[in-house]
Amino acid sequence: MREFSATGYRSLRKIVCPVSDLEVFVGGNGVGKTNLYRALELVRAAATNTLGLELAQEGMEAAFWAGPRRSGSPRIELEVSLSDPQARGAGRGVYRYHVAIGFPPKEASPAFITEPQIKEEWLSYDGGGRQVRLVDRRGPSVMARDEAGRPVEIDIDLLSSETVLGRLEDPGRFSMLDMVRRTLLEWRFYHDLRTDAGSPLRRPCPAVATPTLASDGANLAAVFATLAHIRQDTHDLDAVIAAAFPGARLVVPSPERTATFGMVFSEFPKRVFEPEELSDGTLRFLGLAGALLAYRLPPFIALNEPEASLHPDLMAPLARLVTQAAERSQIWLVTHSQPLADAIAATGAGKVRTVTKQDGATWIEGLSLIGQFAGED
C-alpha cells in the first residue's frame, strides 16, 4: 500500500496519509487511532463483500463524521493506492481503489431505509502515463474494462449494499480487479488475540502445515509446529522468546492429529507449562510472535494496541518482533504505548507518527492537507 485516505468516518473528517513499510501511530485515548485502523479494515471488507454488513453492525449514524458538514446527505469515502506487483522500477504502476457509502435515497429504493448503500465505487490504474478507470460504478450501473481494454457495461445482480470488488469474480475477463481483490484479502488485522480461559490461543488445533496466523490466533499451535517441524527453523522465534522471557524456551512437540505447544521456565526446568496455564501477557506475546514470525507473512499486517496485557519490560522485545516483520511485510501499528513507539524509533526502522485531534477531527502531526509529511518525499 502506498497511500490511504478516509473522509467522513467517525473522527476522520478528511485525511490522506502516505504509507511506508512500517508505520507506527501513537497517541492518547480518544484521538482516533483506532478509527484509522478500523477504516483500513473496512477497505478489506469491501473485498470480502461485507462492507455494508460491517457498517450496519456499527450503526450508520454512529459511523458518520459527527462534526459539522456541508449540506447534503452524509457519506463515508475510503481509498487506497497499491503498487502493481508485476511492474518494476521507480515508476511502477499504481492501482487506486475508491468506495463511497451513504444512506439510500428516500424515494423508492431496493434497500432498507437505514442500511449502508454503495454510492460510487471505482478502480483505476496509472502505469506512469495517465490514469485509466478499470471499473466505474455509479449506483446500479457498472462499467469495467475487459482484457482487451474495452469498456463494457456489466450485467450483474448487484444489491445496493454489495461492492463490485467483492461481487464481480471473473479473473479471466477482469484480471486486474481480481488481483486487487486477492491482495486485500491477504491483509491481516490483529486486534482480537484473546487471552481469556476460552481463548483460541489456548487450544490445540488440527495438525496442518500453516504459513500464516489467523486473525483470531486459532491456529497458533500449527504456526509454531510449521516453523519447528516443516521449515525446521525456529532461530528467530527462539531468540525473541529468550529476550522476552530470559531462561525460558518454547516447546513444540511433533504433531499427530493436533498441534500444541508449551513453555519451560528457568524456575521449573523439568515442567512444561501448557497454553491453558500461561499468563495472559505470556500468551499474548506468543500470539504476536506467531503473527509476526510465521513461515509466510501476508503483504500487509495491521496491529491495534499489541501492548495490551504486556509488562513494560516486553516493549523492547515486541519492538524487535515488529521491525523484523517489517523486513518481510508492510506493518501498520496503532499504540497507546510511547515506550513501544520509542523502542521502534530507536531501531531506525519505519516512521513513528503522533496522532492528535484538531477541532474534533483526528489528525497526524506533520501531515499536510494534500497528504505529505514535512521533510519526506
Helix axes 51-58 and 33-48, enclosed angle (nearest 10): 140
Task: Count Cβ atoms below 10 Å from residue 168 Cβ, excluding itself.
Answer: 22
The backbone torsions φ and ψ at residue 255, rounded to the nearest 5 degrees and listed phi first, read -70, 150
Place of cell 450496519: 56
Q: Label residue 104 by pLDDT band (50, 70, 90).
A: confident
What is 189-345's CATH superfamily? P-loop containing nucleotide triphosphate hydrolases (3.40.50.300)
Place of cell 450483474: 156
Summarize pLDDT for 316-335 with one digit per residue, the tens: 999 999 999 999 999 999 99
Average pLDDT over residues 256-280: 96
Q: What is the pLDDT of residue 377?
A: 66
Average pLDDT over residues 232-245: 96
**Is the pLDDT assigned to residue 90 strictly greater than 60?**
no
Strands 12-18 and 76-83: unpaired
Cell triple for 172: 479471466
**Is the pLDDT assigned to residue 286 strictly greater than 70?**
yes
**Is the pLDDT assigned to residue 58 strictly greater than 80?**
yes
Residue 303 · residue 336 · CB < 8 Å? no
Amino acid at 50: T
By CB atoms closer than 10 A (0-12, 13-18, 19+), residue 119 is: buried
Q: What is the pLDDT of residue 92?
A: 73
Q: What is the pLDDT of residue 361?
A: 95
Percent of the chain at pLDDT above 90? 80
Q: Which helix (H) or strand (E) holds 10?
A: none
Residue 12 · residue 361 · CB < 8 Å? yes
**Is the pLDDT assigned to residue 128 strictly greater than 70?**
yes
Cell triple for 150: 474495452
Summarize pLDDT for 209-227 with one digit per residue, the tens: 999 999 999 999 999 999 9
Contacts of 220 (CB under 8 A, 6+ apart): 200, 201, 205, 213, 261, 286, 287, 290
Q: Label residue 71 by pLDDT band (50, 70, 90).
A: low
Q: Label residue 109 by pLDDT band (50, 70, 90).
A: low
Rg (CA), the chain: 22
Q: What is the pLDDT of residue 111?
A: 66
Place of cell 501492548: 307
The rounded mean pLDDT for the chain is 93
Summarize pLDDT for 341-362 with one digit per residue, the tens: 999 999 998 899 999 999 999 9
Task: Please report, for the chain, the start and end positions of each structural domain, with discontinuous segments joined by +.
Answer: 3-13+27-187, 189-345
Place of cell 508449551: 262
Look up the pTM and report it: 0.93
Summarize pLDDT for 137-193 with one digit per residue, the tens: 987 889 998 878 889 898 888 998 999 999 998 888 889 999 999 999 999 999 989
**Is the pLDDT assigned to residue 89 strictly greater than 60?**
no
Contacts of 127 (CB under 8 A, 6+ apart): 84, 87, 93
CB under 8 A, 24+ apart: contacts of 276-279: 276/197, 276/202, 278/202
**Is the pLDDT assigned to residue 73 strictly greater than 70?**
yes
Distance between CA atoms of residues 216 and 145, nearest Å: 37
Q: Which helix (H) or strand (E) holds 100?
A: strand 94-102
Residue 324 · residue 22 · CB < 8 Å? no
Q: What is the pLDDT of residue 289?
A: 98
CA distances from 249 to 241, 246, 267, 295 (A): 7, 9, 12, 19
Cell triple for 18: 502516505
The backbone torsions φ and ψ at residue 2, rounded to the nearest 5 degrees and listed phi first, read -110, -30
**Is the pLDDT assigned to residue 205 strictly greater than 70?**
yes
Q: What is the pLDDT of residue 356?
A: 96
